Every structure is written in C-alpha cells, then in structure tokens.
Chains A and B, each alone.
Chain A
Amino acid sequence: MSATLAHPSTVTPEMEKAQRALIDESTRVPVILFYGSAIFWLLIGTLFALLASFKMNAPTFLDQWSWLTFGRVRPAHLNAVAYGWASAAGIGTALWLMARLCRTPLRYSKLLISAAIFWNIGVLLGILGILSGDGRSIEWLEFPNYASFMLFVAFGLIAVWAILMFRFREPGHIYVSQWYLLAAFLWFPWLYSTANILLNFQPIQGGAQGAVNWWYGHNALGLWFTPIGLATAYYLIPKVLGRPIHSYYLSILGFWSLALFYSWNGMHHLIGGPFPAWLISASVVASVMMFIPVITTAINHHMTVRGNFQALKWSPTLRFTVFGAMCYTLASVQGSFMAIPSLNVVTHFTHYTVGHAHLGLYAFFTMIMFGAMYYILPRVVGWEWPSARLIRWHFWLVAIGIGMMVVVLTLGGLLQGLALLDPEITFMASLDYTKPWLFLRSVSGLLLTAGHIVFAVSFTLLLLKTGATRTEPTLFGSDQGRQPEPLNV
C-alpha cells in the first residue's frame, strides 16, 4: 500500500484507517444535521420551483393570494435552493472533507451544531418573510434583515470553525481541496456581510447598488459554490479511482486564476446597463479570462479519470461527480461566451440566462453534492444505501430532467432574445415564442421533483438503517448482479 506524501512515516495503514473511523465518527452529527436540512430545503425549493413554473404557464394558477404571487414564489424558490439546499449541502460536505483532509477529528462540533440551527432558522424566517411581502427584491439578497442576520451569525460560526480546524490540521502537504475550502469559508462571510450592509442594512445610493448586488450575486456562485464543488470533485474523483490528480501545477494555476478572475465577473450581469463603460468591460474581460481556470481544471480532472470512464457505470459517487464536473466546464465556457457583448445583446433578459443558471447551480453543483452524499453518508451513518434501484432512478430522473430544462430554456431564450432585438417584432410576439418552451420546462421540473422525492426516500431509509446489512457498497448494478469492472490504476 503506497503511503501518501503527507503522512509521517510512523503512521501505518492500519492506524490511518482507524483515524478515519474516528474522524467519520466525530463528523456524524454535524454532517447529518446539515445534510438533513439540505434535503428538506431541496424539497421545499423544488415545490416553489414547480409553483413558479406553473404560474408562467397559467398565470391565473393560485393567483388569489398575495403570498403565492409569482413575484414572491420565484425568490422563495431561489433562496430555498441556494441557501437552504445548496449551501447546507456544501457546508456538510465541506466539514467532512476538512476533517478528513486535515486528518484530525472534528473539534468544536457545538459551533457547527449552533450554526446549523441558526442557519435553518434564518432560512425559514427568510422564506416566510419573502412570502409575506418583506422580500427586498434584490436578487440573491431577498431575505429581510431579521433573516439575513441569522445566516450571517451562522456563517461566522462556520468560518471560525474552519480556521480553527485548519490550524489544528496535520502538518505537511496542503491538498488542493483544502485551498478551495479555506478560501470559500473566508470569502463568503466577507461577501455576505458587505453586500447586506450596503444594500439592506444601510443602503447606499441607488446608482451604485447594482454593482454591489451583482458583485455579491456572481461571487456567491464563483467564490462560494464553485470552490466547494471543485474541492469535492478534486477529492472524490481521485479517491474513488485510487489515482493521483494529474498535475499539481495545473491545480495551482487553476486555483489562483479562479481567485483572481472570478471575483471581477459581477458586472457581466449588467452589460448595456447604467454603469461606467470600463467597469462593464473589465467584467467582460474577466469573464473571458475564466477560460484559464476552467480549462485547467477540466484537463486536470479529465486526465485523472482517463482510461477509467467505465467506473461511471458502477459508482454512484463517480457518476454524479463526473457529470457535475463536466457540466462545470460546460456552464463556465457557456458563461464566458455569454459575457461577450455581441452575444449578450441576444441572451440578456431572456430565459437563456435562467437555463445557464440551472446548468451551473444544478448540473454542476447539485450533482456533485449528490455524489458527495452518496459517498459520505454511508460513512457517517454506518450503513450502506439500501437500494441500488432508488439510486438509479434518482440519477436518471434528475439527469434527464436537468438536461431537458437547460435545453428548452436555452432554445426558448434564444428565440426570445432574437425577437427582442428586432424592433419590428412586437414585444408580445417575443413572449409568445417562449410559451411552448416554458411548458416543457414545467415538464422537466416534474422529472426533477420526482428525482428529489426518490432521493429523499432513499435518504430516509438510510437513516433508518433499513434492509439487510451490506458488506459491499451499494453500486449501480448491484441489484442486478453486476460486478464492478477493474480499474486501470
């Protein structure tokens, strides 16, 4: 058994495994708390998504009540999935990864448990606030102050925890996932507090608000979700395959170019808008420069997997994670092109952007989170997934669902955008072009909903430790008697 670089030579493989047992044990309560919350909010957020989508197909649907008006259900959806599902899943994954990579059992778990409680209270208050009309209508920052304050307290606790964990890590090589996780935990509280103070607590004058809004909005994606997603992929892909990451140098280039360029992207949400030309152009440039970290990471991941793609046939973790990693490349490349003004003039203000957002936050981040849950949960619960069939249904429902959603929104958005460009075409005509695609989007939403329900059932069965004791992991095909194929290590 080859020793890893970081390990002092005194640690035997036996001890290493025992350490991992301790580490997993120590992470159990916080991880299950965050994952459980995340899956709960995934279901809630999916419900709001369906409502919003149906309302675009049939505007009279449930339109009697102010708390279900589209303008409230839509931000309720975004906040539930962004802060309720994605952030909680990301935190749960991150803390397990930090503990494993720092090779030290999780300490100060009470900090994390408090954080989880504050988190959930904050999200709940925020969603109820939006539905009752207290929403701020600032995209990504709709939560009223009483809710965002809770989230900020929770974030603060987690950031403190992350720094302490990092301090107590085993000395030696810091693995690439740890760079991304540490960065994410430092970036996000700064982002969240600055944006909320300048837009919600002590709003600055209107002319400047748009810039701060989208500095935050884009960085929530690029400096919070993306690093956690990449950290997870950088861990799970080589871990499951037992192969090294292709190139340490590519990892360094990828990390620092992401840190430098991603944070300047924000203004690409406002191309053509009322801001100084140089600010918009700077964001256009930064968005295109994102090719550097994205291609770098894609090469790194691809070369790590190369020769072993058959592993996706049997490993749920790998299938979800590699799907997500590929969609990261796809979404980011699409984003770089979308930021070019001659293309942006077509896609801006259309459903194309909505499709892009779901390609990023769902097809990339959420799929990787599913992959992480499939790997981590058996280790913290001490039980294997009860049903390979449920995993298979989950995968295909959400994969087809998100694929369909992205395609129909992209096509509908393009038609809408091209129509909007031509002043001879009436505005109402541009709206008419989108209607059949919005209907298909609702269909894709139903597929995703079914997939989430399947996953929630699977998760519940796992927690309840149902089914026979397994000595082997629950892999695709294990319910059909198929064996995993050998890898080319």
Chain B
Amino acid sequence: MIDDPHKAGSDELQSHLEGEGLNVRDVHGAILREKDDPRDGYEPIPLWLVSAFMALVFWAGAYLSFYSGGFQADVFDPVQVSWAGGGAAVKGPPDPMVVGKRLFTANCVACHQPTGQGVAGQFPPLAGSEWVLAGDWHGDNHLIRILLHGLQGPVQVKGSTYNGAMAPWKQLKDEQIAMILTYIRNEWGNSAPPITAEQVAKVREETAGQTEPYTQTQLQAIPAVKYESAAPPAPEVQTAPGGGDVAPPAPAQPPSATPAAA
C-alpha cells in the first residue's frame, strides 16, 4: 500500500500498479487520453452584470417594504400595508345577518327552531310574527324589552295563544341583541328595519328597574315606538312602572324626521 500517492515517485507507482495487476496503458486508456483536470480562468465580472445585480437589490428592498405587511406575524394579506403595528386586518363592521345568525343558532333555536317556526302550542313562531315585525299594536321598543327582560303569561301570536315563559337575555351585549333582532327581522321572508346597538342601550337604561318578565298586558300599556317610522310620532303617555321609552320630539318636527334619540 502506498501511504500518500501524491508523494510517491513515478517508479513506485508503476510497480504498485503492476503489483495490483494493473497496467496503466491497458486498463486506463481513458486516463491516458484524458485532458488535465479543470482549472480556473480569471476573467473579470462584466460591469453590466454588476449593474443589473444592483438594480435587482434595489427592487428587492422596494418590494419588501411594500408587500410585507409590516413584518407582522398576523398579517396574511401582502397587499395590506400595516406598518402601524398592532397587526390584524382592518375590521369592518360585522354583518348582522352572519353574526346574528350565529348568535340565534347558539341561543334561540332550541325553542324558536332554526326555521323560525317555533313549536305549535309551545313556542311562538318568529316568521311572519307581528311581534317581530312591529305590526298591529307592537313597536320596536316592545321587541327590545322582551329580549332584555323576558316574557311570561298568555300571549297572542299570529292568532294562536301561547302560555309559556321566555327567559330574559339581558346578559347578552347590546350589539349582540341588536344583531339577533336584525337577523330575525330579515330571515324567513321577514322584512323590517334593523335594530341598532344604541337603541338597545337606551331601552336597557330606561328599563333598568325591571325585575320580572313582561306580560302581554303590560307591554300593551306601553306606547309603541318605531324608530324608523315615517308616521308622525305618537303623543307620549306616561304610565308606571316601566317608564316611557324614548319620547318622540314635539309634533312640530317634520313627519319624515327620525326621532333624534334613535
């Protein structure tokens, strides 16, 4: 064995190869005609290449500053530049039909059913219900009061009588109640103006003293208020308890004006 072939002399190599039964000429004709191993030339890097690379580096910097979403870990849309920090996507207002449906499904379907049909004799329907659509003697304010404080005793809905109890839902937030009501007012063929969180907040404030669920009689004693009605506002009638709802302004107002507090 030769320890270090590149230090071995030519004769030594030759005899070693012959000892191994190899003759360089016979076995490795390929090696004999082979050219030298590759070596490096030293041409300079062309200037146009360097310029092109510099241009690319500039482009890279520009691209990264525009399309990196502020390097936030929770910004997923590259088109959205978010250097202000605090990350997440700009939130638009939630869609009541989407979120309201989620809340309704989470809280209300056990009784009123996903179809809004209720259960005959037990739970009143919401589809086509005058209570929901503020038809007949009903107002938007009644609907909000029911959600906040509940309902008990016999009630008339679409010609049928129901004698159950609806629990209060005042633990839900104003926005949540508003979205649920907007949802049920515009689903299953219903069509009525949306309810806003501010309207819910006002009613909640005024009915803060209410401890028992309402009865139909009690609600009928409270004048109906329709927040987006074009009709002239009804005169205020004060009854106790429960107080009045948001009082419509003096009749001097043009009929088409929305009450200021709505």
In the complex, are there CB atoms of A and B closer than 8 Å? yes
CB pair B10 A247 closer than 8 Å: no
Contacts of B32 in A (CB 8 A): 17
The B-contacting residues of A in range 10-66, CB under 8 angstroms, are 11-12, 14-22, 24-25
A103 to chain B, nearest CB (A): 6
The residue on B at minimum CB distance from A470 is B29
Encode B1-32 as 1/0 by CB contact (under 8 A) with A: 01001101110011011001010100111111
Stretch from B66-74, B133-141, B221-229 forming part of the interface with A = B66-74
Complex Cα gap A68–B46 (Å): 54
The residue on B at minimum CB distance from A12 is B10
Partner of B31, one of A17, A277, A285, A304: A17
Contacts of B43 in A (CB 8 A): 246-247, 249-250, 303
A2 at the interface (CB under 8 A from B): yes
Encode A221-259 as 1/0 by CB contact (under 8 A) with B: 000000000000011001111101111111101000000
The residue on A at minimum CB distance from B32 is A17
Complex Cα gap A473–B33 (Å): 9
The residue on A at minimum CB distance from B44 is A249
Which of A16, A101, A234, A276 has the largest count of B CB atoms less than 10 A from its CB?
Answer: A276
CB pair B14 A18 closer than 8 Å: yes
CB pair B24 A284 closer than 8 Å: no
Contacts of B37 in A (CB 8 A): 4, 100-101, 175, 239
Contacts of A104 in B (CB 8 A): 5-6
Contacts of B67 in A (CB 8 A): 277, 281, 284
**Count: A-B pairs, CB below 8 Å:** 169
A341 at the interface (CB under 8 A from B): yes
CB pair A246 B41 closer than 8 Å: yes
Contacts of B24 in A (CB 8 A): 17-18, 21
Known: A277-B67, A281-B67. A253 touches B6 (CB 8 A): no
The residue on A at minimum CB distance from B71 is A278
Stretch from A148-156, A290-298, A357-365 forming part of the interface with B = A290-298
The residue on A at minimum CB distance from B23 is A21
Contacts of B41 in A (CB 8 A): 244-248, 304
CB pair A22 B17 closer than 8 Å: yes
B91 at the interface (CB under 8 A from A): no
CB pair A274 B76 closer than 8 Å: yes
CB pair A238 B59 closer than 8 Å: no
Complex Cα gap A239–B8 (Å): 25
Complex Cα gap A100–B35 (Å): 13
Which of B43, B75, B80 has the largest count of A CB atoms less than 10 A from its CB?
Answer: B43
A266 at the interface (CB under 8 A from B): no
Contacts of B75 in A (CB 8 A): 276-278
B250 at the interface (CB under 8 A from A): no
B53 at the interface (CB under 8 A from A): yes
Encode A310-354 as 1/0 by CB contact (under 8 A) with B: 000000000000000000000000000000010000000000000
CB pair B45 A253 closer than 8 Å: yes
B82 to chain A, nearest CB (A): 8
A379 at the interface (CB under 8 A from B): yes
The residue on A at minimum CB distance from B68 is A278
CB pair A14 B10 closer than 8 Å: yes
Contacts of B98 in A (CB 8 A): none
Partner of B22, one of A21, A248, A341: A21
Complex Cα gap A25–B22 (Å): 10
B198 at the interface (CB under 8 A from A): no
CB pair B36 A4 closer than 8 Å: yes
Partner of B78, one of A17, A18, A277: A277
CB pair A288 B56 closer than 8 Å: yes
The residue on A at minimum CB distance from B29 is A471
Complex Cα gap A325–B53 (Å): 21
Contacts of B42 in A (CB 8 A): 247-249
CB pair A379 B60 closer than 8 Å: no
A86 at the interface (CB under 8 A from B): no
CB pair A382 B27 closer than 8 Å: yes
Complex Cα gap A5–B8 (Å): 19
Contacts of B72 in A (CB 8 A): 276-278
Known: A296-B49, A379-B30. A239 touches B80 (CB 8 A): no
CB pair A1 B17 closer than 8 Å: no
A454 at the interface (CB under 8 A from B): no
The residue on B at minimum CB distance from A278 is B68
Contacts of B52 in A (CB 8 A): 291, 295
B77 to chain A, nearest CB (A): 6
CB pair A282 B64 closer than 8 Å: yes
The B-contacting residues of A in range 122-139, CB under 8 angstroms, are none
Contacts of A18 in B (CB 8 A): 10, 13-14, 17, 24
The residue on B at minimum CB distance from A261 is B60
Complex Cα gap A238–B35 (Å): 9
Q: Mind listing 23 A-B residue pairs with CB under 8 Å?
A: A1-B36, A4-B37, A8-B6, A17-B28, A20-B28, A21-B17, A22-B5, A22-B16, A175-B37, A175-B38, A175-B40, A239-B37, A245-B40, A248-B40, A248-B42, A249-B44, A277-B75, A277-B80, A284-B63, A284-B67, A288-B59, A384-B30, A473-B33
Q: A239-B35, A288-B60 are in contact. List 19 more A-B contacts (CB 8 A).
A: A1-B36, A6-B39, A16-B36, A22-B17, A24-B31, A175-B37, A177-B38, A235-B38, A244-B39, A244-B41, A246-B43, A247-B45, A274-B76, A278-B64, A278-B69, A284-B63, A289-B57, A341-B78, A471-B29
CB-based closest 5 A-B pairs: A277-B69, A278-B68, A242-B35, A238-B38, A244-B41
Residue ranges of A at the interface with B (Cβ–Cβ < 8 Å): 1-2, 4-6, 8, 11-12, 14-22, 24-25, 100-101, 103-105, 170, 173, 175-177, 234-235, 238-242, 244-251, 253, 274-278, 280-282, 284-285, 288-289, 291-292, 295-296, 299, 303-304, 341, 378-379, 382, 384, 471, 473
